[in-house]
Amino acid sequence: MAIQPLRRHKIRGLYAITPDSENTGELLGKTQQALAGGGRGIQYRNKSVDNGLRKEQAGLLLQLCRKHEIPLIINDDIDLALEIDADGVHVGRDDSTVSDARKFLQQDKIVGASCYNNLDLAIEAEKQGADYVAFGAFFPSVTKPEATPVSISLINHARQILTIPVVGIGGIQLNNAAMVIHNGCDAIAVCSDLFQAGNIRVRAAQYAQLFAGNL
């Protein structure tokens, strides 16, 4: 029996961003640990491999995520999201627009948008049909060292205006995540501090615990 796609799932809690990897088995194993520890969403992001391997990895990750009933979001690739019937897509300022993504994806699919340090971008993204917006980087980021710094106060301002979930991203580690969460983020996007941990399952559980009572 085919595993059915998720209905439009709200992004909450630990939102794991996969690292660049050519080793599909290792990528799947690490993602399995992140899900077992309490990951509530997975975003597939791999800028270092060709389209064929990206499709293979994304398809296998989708099967894994569906078993856990957790959404798989594809970073910056509407075509790939459509091809494998992923649960949604995440777009950035230089990618497709939210309205483009919403036009091509079914209404029950998730569309997220990077808004950096710009609340106006977030307001427009919500108008265009985004299901969540991401602000960051709140801290220096290993994954994107050139990212624009963002003040924590932006979260409070955004929560007063937006009705969709707010995701914090950029340099988030276990020792600073609580600050972002307690200031109003519904989810935190984590890559390096999660997938480079000695025990990914334990690290994911530690992040998940920060949301206890808030989900």
- Indicate the burial class of 124 (C-beta count within 10 angstroms; 0-12, 13-18, 19 or more): middle
Nearest to 61 by CA among 41, 90, 91: 41
Nearest to 156 by CA among 183, 195, 131, 129: 183
Residue-wise pLDDT tens digits, 48-93: 999 999 999 999 999 999 999 999 999 999 999 999 999 999 999 8
Nearest to 15 by CA among 96, 118, 131, 105: 131
Q: Where are the domains of the chain?
A: 13-210
CATH class for the domain made up of 13-210: alpha beta
- Residue 194: which pLDDT band, with cuts at 50, 70 and 90? very high
Question: Which H helix or E strand runs over 169?
Answer: strand 166-169
| Mean pLDDT (whole number) for 170-175 | 95
Enumerate the known binding-site residues: 43-47, 75-76, 95, 114, 141-144, 171
Paired strand residues for 188? 14, 168
pTM of the model: 0.93
d(CA 180, CA 6): 28
Enumerate the known binding-site residues for Mg(2+): 76, 95
Mean pLDDT, the chain, integer: 93
For the chain, the first-to-last Cα distance in angstroms comes to 31
Quote the pLDDT of residue 6.
Answer: 59
